[in-house]
């Protein structure tokens, strides 16, 4: 590639150490896609002849077919995917293949390949998110009246429905989807035509290649275009937030599946056993996703650290951007696939959930609200209910199990109607507004959710 400048061959170890073909060959389809567009533009602009352009395009399609059939021989000595493809093209069609690199550099070529590849992967992730969200909506729809304890500080706080909790997960994923959709716009900007760093002296037309490749815009500064990896960092930041969400969900699933909670059943196909304890059923999928979140966080740190001290424009350091990005995409894709298959199939244990809700004085706030509606200031109502809870703790019973006389000793505003607000169903139904846990409110949220992902 650069024999004219050098007086000796590259050291064999150095050649292997600096080569990237073993990992960047996964961008071969995007590399060929970009090269076909570039060759088309060169022909339309008269930089090469139309016949030469078509011959290059036909040759590139032949190379693509060889790769798809597994017949292509990748060579480390050719360093990267770009030179492997170009070398094979030249072997197939002769010297005209050497004209493909006119008006471009590997710097803008690799920047284009990464953007094309990441755009495709972003579309795949958005589709997986949509599938997972649809599964959550289906699960929620079945359980708008299945009552469970809502927690703060992992202590029983107020009754909610299982559907309401599932819809909280759905909202997290909606924000994730929005982030990836917004990032896709910044990924979908074309660096091709920037050449090494300063642009090219050939009369190229970048709008042609942008149109052929489906880019929404063209990178406006050649120095920035070849050295920018913000889009990859932003993608990995989005992936980190999404994996954080999946990890939080995993933590709840792991707790809920434990014997101490017994809230849910995860189908056996998503669990494993123990080599020594025959009774064990381990929630390995949620545990592994929880662990893989750390891996994605690490890739974000890698990319930030990689870029933090690089001067303009391209540096060899940037070769190190691909492996963390590839691993991030693979890890995120696998985690989403696992959750999209697993989450819609979990089964709540409604009896255990209800029993747990009854143990934690979950309707205490409802009793306070009841007193406020009777005219008592909230702070005074808070104290009254606290005293009633203390009595319940002493007697080992829930608020709803205290007698009317026992409740009235704390406030004469309490009447026979108090027990309506102390039931779990009454507590849920009282919160019938947008964002509330009442069955009707949650059903409305599910309907709106389906519209949002349609």
Q: What 8-state DSSP symbol labels residue 96?
A: G
Looking from the CA of 253 toward its CB, the CA atoms found within 13 Å total 29
What is the spatial distance between Cα 136 and Cα 374, in angstroms, rounded to a whole number?
40
Residue 33 CB contacts under 8 Å (≥ 6 apart), including other chains: 116, 213
Beta strands at 347-348 and 264-265: parallel, antiparallel or unpaired: antiparallel
Residues paired with 264 in a beta bridge:
348
CA angle 107, 117, 314 (to 5 degrees): 20
Residues paired with 265 in a beta bridge:
347
Dihedral, 382, 384, 386, 389 alpha carbons, nearest 10: -130
Residues paired with 147 in a beta bridge:
161
Beta strands at 189-190 and 217-218: parallel, antiparallel or unpaired: parallel
Which H or E element spans position 216?
none
What is the spatial distance between Cα 46 and Cα 23, in angstroms, rounded to a whole number?
35
Number of H helices, E strands in the chain: 19, 6
In terms of Cα–Cα distance, which of 165, 174, 334 is closest to 252?
Answer: 165
Give the helix ranges, DSSP H, for 142-259: 162-187, 206-213, 222-227, 230-257
CB of 102 closer than 8 Å to CB of 48: yes
Active site residues: 153, 274
- Report whether the peptide linkage leading into residue 313 is cis, meaning its omega lies within 30 degrees of zero: yes
Looking from the CA of 271 toward its CB, the CA atoms found within 13 Å total 18
CB of 235 closer than 8 Å to CB of 183: yes
Distance from first CA to last CA of the chain, Å, rounded?
Answer: 50
Residue 217 CB contacts under 8 Å (≥ 6 apart), including other chains: 188, 189, 190, 210
What is the spatial distance between Cα 362 and Cα 337, in angstroms, rounded to a whole number?
36
DSSP string for residues in 295-325: HHHHHHHHHHHHHTTPPSS--GGGGGGHHHH
């Amino acid at each position: 590639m650069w024999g004219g400048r050098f007086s000796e061959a590259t050291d064999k170890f150095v050649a292997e150490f600096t080569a990237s073909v073993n990992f960047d060959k996964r961008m071969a389809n995007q590399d060929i896609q970009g090269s076909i567009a570039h060759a088309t533009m060169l022909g339309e602009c008269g930089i090469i002849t139309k016949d030469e352009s078509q011959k290059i395009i036909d040759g590139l399609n032949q190379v693509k077919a060889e790769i798809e059939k597994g017949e292509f021989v990748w060579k480390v000595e050719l360093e990267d995917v770009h030179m492997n493809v170009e070398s094979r093209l030249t072997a197939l069609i002769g010297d005209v293949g050497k004209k493909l690199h006119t008006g471009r550099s590997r710097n803008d070529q690799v920047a284009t390949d990464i953007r094309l590849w990441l755009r495709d992967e972003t579309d795949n992730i958005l589709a997986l998110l949509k599938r997972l969200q649809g599964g959550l909506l289906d699960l929620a729809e079945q359980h708008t009246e299945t009552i469970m304890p809502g927690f703060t500080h992992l202590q029983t706080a107020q009754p909610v429905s299982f559907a309401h909790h599932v819809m909280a997960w759905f909202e997290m994923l909606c924000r994730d989807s929005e982030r990836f959709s917004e990032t896709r716009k910044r990924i979908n900007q074309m660096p091709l035509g920037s050449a090494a760093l300063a642009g090219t002296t050939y009369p190229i037309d970048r709008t042609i290649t942008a149109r052929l490749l489906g880019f929404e815009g063209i990178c406006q500064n050649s120095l920035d275009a070849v050295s920018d990896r913000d889009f990859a960092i932003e993608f990995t930041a989005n992936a980190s937030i999404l994996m954080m969400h999946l990890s939080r969900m995993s933590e709840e699933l792991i707790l809920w599946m434990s014997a101490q909670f017994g809230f849910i059943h995860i189908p056996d196909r998503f669990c494993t056993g123990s080599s020594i304890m025959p009774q064990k059923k381990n929630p390995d999928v949620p545990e592994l996703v929880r662990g893989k979140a750390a891996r994605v966080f690490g890739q974000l740190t890698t990319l930030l650290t990689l870029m933090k001290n690089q001067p303009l424009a391209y540096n060899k350091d940037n070769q190190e951007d691909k492996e963390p990005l590839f691993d991030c995409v693979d890890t995120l894709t696998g985690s989403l696939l696992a959750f999209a298959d697993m989450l819609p199939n979990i089964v709540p244990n409604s009896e255990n959930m209800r029993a747990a809700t009854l143990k934690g004085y979950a309707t205490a706030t409802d009793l306070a609200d009841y007193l406020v509606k009777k005219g008592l200031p909230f702070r005074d109502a808070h104290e009254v209910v606290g005293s009633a809870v203390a009595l319940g703790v002493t007697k080992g019973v829930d608020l709803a199990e205290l007698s009317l006389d026992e409740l009235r000793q704390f406030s004469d505003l309490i009447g026979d109607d108090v027990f309506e607000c102390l039931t779990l169903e009454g507590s849920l139904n009282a919160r019938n507004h947008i964002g509330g846990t009442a069955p009707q409110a949650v059903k409305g949220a599910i309907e709106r959710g389906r519209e949002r992902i349609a």
